[in-house]
Structure 1
Amino acid sequence: MISKIPADTHVRNDSIRQGITKKRVEDFANAGPVDCIIIGSGLSGLTTAGMLSRAGWRVAVLEQHDVAGGTTHQFVEEGFEFGTGLHYTGDVLPRSTLMDALTDGKLKWAEMDAEYDHCELMGKDIDEVKDRLVFTKGFRKMRDRLHKQFPEECMCEKEAISRYYKECFKAHAAMGPIVLSKILPGFMVSLLRPLLDRWYHSAQNKTTLEVMRDCGLSDDLIGKLTFTYGDFGTTPDESPFMVQAMLTCHWFRGAFYPVGGPEQIAATMVPTLEKNGSKVWVNARVETLLLSADGAVEGVRVKGMDIPCNTVVSSVGALNTYMKLMNDKMPLPRPVQDLRHELRSAEKLKPGMSMISLFVGFEGTCESLQLPNYNTWMVSSWDHGANIKRMNEEGLDAPFAMMYYAFSSAKDPTWHVRFPNKVSCEILAPCSYALFEEFEKSRWNKRTDDYEAMKEVLTERLLDHMFERMPHLKDKLVHVSMGTPLTINHFLNSTRGEVYALDHTQERFDPKYQQMLTAKTPITGLYMTGQDVLFSGVVTAYMSGIVTVAAMSYSALLKNADVLFRATPTVWGESQVKGAKKFNIVWVLSVVFVVLAVLLVYMR
């Protein structure tokens, strides 16, 4: 729901910080059968749990951290509140009737500036036209802005811009075969495979760079249009064009931020789960899956405690699920062994980009400090692939390939009530994991002096870049702390500090590997949800929860139809869709396929 938000809507509760104990598990099990265990409490896990709970399932969600929410959680340090993963999103969640139901209508959203993303070259002396680009809400407005900003590119370039957007719309439709291939029964997917592959192949078989060059765009403009590769972590020369297309289309309706901060997502979803008879426990790192002699799921082990259950959903990614929760002594089916081999080799399926995060606090108010309600991106050049290559080769001496900074306090209308005369800023930048490998075995918060010295160097450099644009903030700085890829390993149990799970390369989206990264795994009773099932990002995490429920139980999916197959009035570009409610045609078509699949199953 998008509306004017009063300041007292901030939800505070203890349900997102309820630790696991043997007594709590026993009491929950004694109250009735545990229908499903979900590993991880990020948005994909909570969406899956929420939909199953609405369908009458009793679900236990297990979170390794001391607070639920995954990368939507927040933390407070020296009186400043910081987000850890969700910095903005498009309008899918704010306008979702399902999300409204899963949060009992308590999650609110604030819209950011219409010009929500600004990007420019690093350095002091930049040309406002040639070295800068602003992304704005509305397809037509964005297209017209590009036509106006690049007149010297001649008419063929103008046509190229329009051709690029046409290709985006066409590639965006590739989501259809991906979703259908992950929710339909195996025999039906095999039956439709030639059609699905042909539909999907047209969007997957070329990189972003190749398609945009084919459209006639210059390399300089390609670099400007793809600076948000930082939203999924793979540069245009390696990512399939459909990922760029989906990201481009995602922002046409503007950018939004959760009122009260990203933690409000879990803070509003968990009480709704509990009201429906489910539980969320933190400090509950799953040590291993429990499998029967014939390879079926029998439960999980947490802190030496076995929790029996015949249905388990993992939302912690392919690397964690297949490499850390399983071992070679288990009776694993051949497809799972093959996937483990691919993940171990890290040739085609490799960890995604690692980043450093800087959490900065200033004294003052958003108004007095003139803070913008948009995101600022900076790049060392418009050749993103070359920037990343240089970063990996030159290490600490290399310029930052890209950096992002934004003020969450300027995006949240309740901030000034909760944290008067304080503002916070989050700065992100890709980094080479090799810089931190030598410190892997050291403990969080107790690492070596060399590690701390390197953090100081990186901190100063990031702040220098920001102060070039906002020098008036320098004297207002009162707090700064840095998180590195090792911090991400500690809190998210990542392998190499990856923030977007598996790298979004062309190889990952090859049909061969997409058949491996399905919601329904070859292990009986084990399901996957999260970024590796679809793509990175908060919206696709949410959508992957829906996909997983569809793969688990068509009955549970249909019991959510009252909110799933409707959408609120929305704006696409500059056209208004009228009416209080409308059917979501994508999900209606999906359910038609599901019903047909069920009928075919019963006819066999």
Structure 2
Amino acid sequence: MVVANKALIDKLQTYDVHVIGSGIGGLCVALLLAKVFAKKVCLLEQHWTAGGQTHTFGRKGGQYEWDVGIHYVGNPEDEKLPSRLLRFLSNDRLKWRKLDQAYDRIRYQDLSFDFIAGKAELIASLVDKFPHEEKAIKGYFKDIQKASQWLIKKNIINIVPSLIAYPLRWLRHLNNKLGRQTTAEYLACHFKDKALRNLLASQWGDYGLPPEQSMFAIHALVMNSYLDGGWYPEGGSGQIAQVLLDELEKCDGTCLTNVKIEKIITGKEQGAAQVVALDVTIDHHKPNAHSFTLPIKQLFSSSGAYNTYRKLLDKPIYPDLEELPWRTSLMTLYFSLNRDPRELGFTSSNYWLFDQKADGPFLTQESRGVFLSFPTLKQGENSNFCGEVVAHIDPEQFSQWRDTVWKKRGKDYRAMKDELISQLIDTVSQHYPELRAAIDYRELSTPLSLAFFTQHPHGNMYGVPFIAGRDSFEFCQAKTPYSNLYLCGQDVLSMGFFGALSGSMFSALESQGSKGFPTMMGAIKAFEKVN
């Protein structure tokens, strides 16, 4: 390993802010600081492709293309602050396509139900299916509104002016009990019908923990976010990073790929704990890797609380992070078809398919269920008929290969992947038998792949698990024990596209003090006047 040239080090030291990671969390905080607060920002990305979970990858010379993390988002066209912020940051260049009216289609052995866009329409459809639970259903939709607002307000008080924050500090205690119970506790208390309980928890894959583990507030936040339906980026999720990085470059910002952060070096300045430098390796996966120490002024980490505090800091803190239930990861079957999926009856909907009856115990991580979707049908005109099957899996099943290298894990690993591919196709074929014969390419990503590309513990996809009490974890806040280090992305507020974006908005504003929020709002309103 050789030392990088002095010119590169000198150039990197000219930036006001460095950001670890270029997913939507890193992109948002970088562009917000650059566009509103005139900061010169440098993103540092360990992957060779920028964008984090928003990027896409291809096979056979681009003949096939899949997204890796964006399957759908809540309404990006509404007037809520996250949507307004995204339009401002992207200069309104990101275009979106709405999914089918039935955005999530749920299929059990004994129950089929479509979650449709429109709150009133969805309530009516549920009541029609479960008339004996009408009162509880209507109460549920009121409660998911209360619980999701409770979670958001707990974060807003840290960024708004004091006159607004004061009443919010009192209001944030309302609905504590509602938000902090588990999803299973809420559903068991309010619904007698077991099939309805499981139906309402069917999309737990969107937030990473089954009902007996997940906090009701995160269930509420996710379910509430899709009441208008689901959307997908026109042209594919790769458009997100492409547009936002282009906007960042217009503000004299940049993104360096193939850059691995080895350590965050800390020290003291006038008695205050600070980050003083980064130990960096460029082209870390190549023989000619360059290593050096980079002095920095301010650092934002979107690499997650665990990576930031337990792996990257030169003096690790928050040992409680080690005790969390990290054993929630995913495997994804990427496949292509030899015919248009619409010929098989598929639409731009997502399909949640279960190899069990709904009228039974609560869903668990061991429940055989998969998520099926077709980015081809979501993103617009595309002749490449690609689909994805996603399922939760315990990463411990791959423990014997944990110390092996990507693409060099051996024949036993490949054999296990082949068996898992067969299982996933079997589960889908129970509901859609014609799909099996139409598949002409298949490839499986495992938790080991996720761990390699994201550096997250055990290939965890969702950051700090949203168990009861997560809202009060000290390590899930934008502010850190170091005066010039801020956590950003999904661990600040919640997982998902708008969750990570909002978390990074909180982080950027936290770093700018009391004038940050009004300054940002002034910039957004000025943009909206002329657009």
TM-score (normalised: structure 2): 0.89
Structure 1 residues 185 and 90, CA, compared in 2 at 3 Å: closer, same or farther? closer
Q: Which of these residues, 314, 319, 331, is aligned with residue 306 of structure 2?
A: 319
> Is residue 53 of structure 2 the alignment partner of residue 44 of structure 1?
no
| Deviation at residue 474 of structure 1 after TM alignment | 2.9
Return the match for 1:167 from 143, 153, 156.
143
Asked if 1:120 is matched to 2:107, the reply is: yes
Q: Deviations over 1:211-267 (max 9, x none)?
A: 223334423211101111100111112222111111121011111000111111000
TM superposition shift of 1:350: 3.5
Q: Does 2:419 align with 1:452?
A: no
1:319-398 equivalence runs, <5 A: 319-328=306-315, 337=317, 339=318, 341-344=319-322, 346=323, 349-351=324-326, 353-381=328-356, 382=358, 387-388=363-364, 391=366
Cα distance in 2 between the residues matched to 1:86 and 1:556: 29
In the alignment, what sits opposite 1:183?
159
Is 2:239 the partner of 1:259? no
1:410 aligns to what? 377
The 8 Å contact of residues 76 and 231 in structure 2, kept in 1 or not, is answered as no
Cα separation, partners in 2 of 1:199 and 1:425, compared to 1, 3 Å = same
- Return the match for 1:135 from 100, 109, 115: 115
Of 482, 490, 499, the match for 1:531 = 490
- Higher alpha-carbon deviation: 311-320 or 458-467: 458-467
TM superposition shift of 1:319: 0.8
Verify the 8 A CA contact 1:52 1:556 in the aligned structure 2.
Answer: no
251-260 or 473-482, which deviates more: 473-482
Q: 1:388 to 1:22 in 2, by over 3 A?
A: farther
Offset of 1:291 from its aligned partner?
1.5
Corresponding residue for residue 81 of structure 1: 65
Q: Aligned in 2, Cα 1:67/1:384: closer, same or farther, shift over 3 Å?
A: farther
Deviations 1:158-189 (A, max 9, x none): 11111111111221221343213543699x98
Q: Percent identity?
A: 27
Match of 2:285 in 1: none
User: Secondary structure of the equivalent of 1:107?
Assistant: coil
Residue type of the alignment partner of 1:502: V
Q: Tell me the distance in 2 between the aligned counterparts of 1:221 and 1:368.
A: 31
Residues 247-297 of structure 1: CA distance to partner in whole angstroms, max 9, x if unpaired? 121011111000111111000000110110111111011111121246311
Separation of aligned partners in 2, 1:527 and 1:293: 16
Letter in 1 for 2:116: T
User: Structure 1 residues 462, 29: CA separation in 2 closer, same or farther (over 3 Å shift)?
Assistant: closer
- Distance between the aligned counterparts of 1:94 and 1:38, measured in 2? 29
Q: Which residue of 1 aligns with 2:280?
A: 302
SS of the residue corresponding to residue 459 of structure 2 reads: coil
Counterpart in the other structure of 1:463: 425
Match of residue 91 from structure 2? 104
| Alpha-carbon distance in 2 for matches of 1:491, 1:538 | 18
Given that 2:352 and 2:369 are in contact with CA atoms closer than 8 Å, whether structure 1 keeps it comes out as: yes
User: Is the contact between residue 510 and residue 516 of structure 2 (CA under 8 Å) also seen in structure 1?
Assistant: no
> In 1, Cα distance between the equivalents of 2:494 and 2:412?
36
Kept in 2: contact 1:299–1:311 (CA 8 A)? no
1:195 aligned to 2:170?
A: yes
Task: State the secondary structure of the residue aligned to 2:258.
Answer: coil
Name the CA distance, whole Å, in 1 between partners of 2:312 and 2:508.
Answer: 22
Judging changes above 3 Å, is the alpha-carbon distance between structure 1 residues 289 and 327 closer, same or farther for their aligned structure 2 residues? closer
Distance 2:455 2:359 in 1: 32
Structure 1 portions without partners, runs of 5+: 1-19, 392-399, 569-579, 583-604
Is contact 2:198-2:363 (8 Å) kept? no
Contact kept in structure 1, 2:94 and 2:243, CA below 8 Å: yes
Q: Distance in 1 between matches of 2:491 and 2:7?
A: 31
Matched, 1:550 2:512: no
TM-score normalised to structure 1 length: 0.79
Contact 2:180–2:469, Cα closer than 8 Å, also in 1: no
Shift of 1:118: 0.6
Instruction: Provide the C-alpha distance between the structure 2 equivalents of 1:21 and 1:482, rounded to a whole number of angstroms.
Output: 36
Inter-partner Cα distance in structure 2 for 1:376 and 1:363: 20
Task: Tell me how far apart the structure 2 counterparts of residues 215 and 57 of structure 1 sit (CA, whole Å).
Answer: 50
2:254 alignment partner AA: K
Query: Cα 1:241–1:550, aligned 2, differ >3 Å: closer, same or farther?
Result: same
| In structure 2, distance between residues paired with 1:552 and 1:542 | 16
CA RMSD, Structure 1 to Structure 2 (Å):
2.8
Q: What aligned pairs does 1:424-443 form with structure 2 within 5 A after superposition?
A: 424-443=386-405
Instruction: State the aligned residue count.
Output: 508
